[in-house]
Amino acid sequence: MHTYYNIILLLFAVCSLTLAQNYSRGSDLSFVESVYVKLSGACRAMVDLSGTSGDQNELISTLKIVQLAGNTINSYPINESFVALTQPSVFDITKQTKVIIHGFRDSSQSAVPLELAQAYNDKQMFNVLMLDAEEMLGKRYISSVRNARLVGKRLANLLANLENFGANAEDFHLLGISLGAHVAGWAGKYFKQYKAKHLGRISGLDPAGPCFSHAYSEQRLDKTDANYVDVIHSNRLVQGVIEPLGHSDYYLNGGGPTQPGCFMPSCSHLRAAQVYTESVKTPKSFVGVRCKSWKHFQANACEKDFSVLGYGSSTTTRGLYYLRTGGSAPYGLGMDGTKATRTTNDYWFRTLNLT
């Protein structure tokens, strides 16, 4: 994750003088946000200029699908995964399928994505798959951003074949961490091209910001990529995007840039995935309140419109939601997290039924 900083510092050195001269005080963005957006655009230009290198088919062949099924973990090369998954009693087309996608310089066996997958596996209700793209997302950041599109396209191909096998597109739920959130977005875009229908759901867990903030919807995760797209923000202005991307966007403690109990940016960045994992284990842990901004939240000036974050999030939810969390696990504060100060009437929360 630290490579992000090398990129940001390099781009800042190139662009900062120009940005300071061109910044408009009439902009809806703050000065810092404007700088971040310009740097993100410069990052995209570097991706475009870098071009492709090596054999793409060889690169794609390094992808793996990891399946969690009870106490068993199976790993398949991407090019063999469809045949392996469609063997008798391996993939249940009647169940929802959760696909966890790790981030930059990570793998399926890293602690955070693996814990999320295991939380779903423990429920014994889902097909649980992990996409391992360590080779393609573990290079220089610019190369990894370029590769994210190829990874998403290959994943979409597998999902389209599984849909042909009998799975329901509505039952596919992709959960992408950081750069993996944009991989999920690409998978949704290509799946729609292949099948003329949407995936069921994509959850973006602090989607990567460098190269993606204020990009066109075709260039990053977007709410048009699935029937329901929910996004959790925890490290905005550093490693996470600064703008809402989904049908519903949840801002942990204002969305960052720092989270309680964190001293390193990577801690705040990964907090979104850790919070989501906790929501799978304890579905009523996190409740957000619909609000115009974090300043309105801090002034207790939000609408009385509540939404469960993560596992229990309703697919009809729309808008921006804010909440407080704790600084160490367990992070969830329930309804107490919906106010800047301790609260209130929790009848809505107590009568909520989640399994």
Q: Give residues with Cβ within 8 angstroms of 104, minimum separation 6.
A: 1, 3, 4, 137, 138, 141, 144, 178, 179, 208
* Residue that is written with structure tokens 């705040």 in the block: 268
CA distances from 243 to 29, 43, 51, 77, 140 (A): 10, 17, 27, 35, 25
End-to-end CA, the chain: 34
Give the 3-state secondary structure of residue 36: helix
Cα angle 1-241-273, degrees, rounded to a multiple of 5: 60
The verdict on whether 132 is a catalytic residue reads no
Closest Cα to residue 334, out of 278, 297, 288? 288
Q: Which residues contact 199 (CB under 8 A, 6 or more apart)?
A: 159, 169, 172, 173, 174, 187, 188, 191, 192, 225, 226, 227
Task: Please answer whether residues 152 and 185 qualify as being in contact, where contact means their C-beta atoms are separated by less than 8 angstroms.
Answer: yes
Which of these is catalytic: 40, 144, 178, 313?
178
Let me know: does 272 contact 312? Beta carbons within 8 Å.
no
The candidate with the shortest Cα–Cα distance to 40, out of 275, 213, 288, is 213
Among the listed residues 206, 222, 225, 230, the single catalytic one is 206
Residue 213 a catalytic site member: no
Instruction: Identify the DSSP state of 311.
Output: G
Active site residue 182: no
Helix (H) or strand (E) holding 113: helix 111-122
Q: Which of 143, 222, 269, 285 is catalytic?
A: 269
The neighbour count for residue 119, using CB atoms within 10 Å, is 20
CB contact at 8 A, 352 and 284: yes
Q: Active-site residue numbers?
A: 178, 206, 269
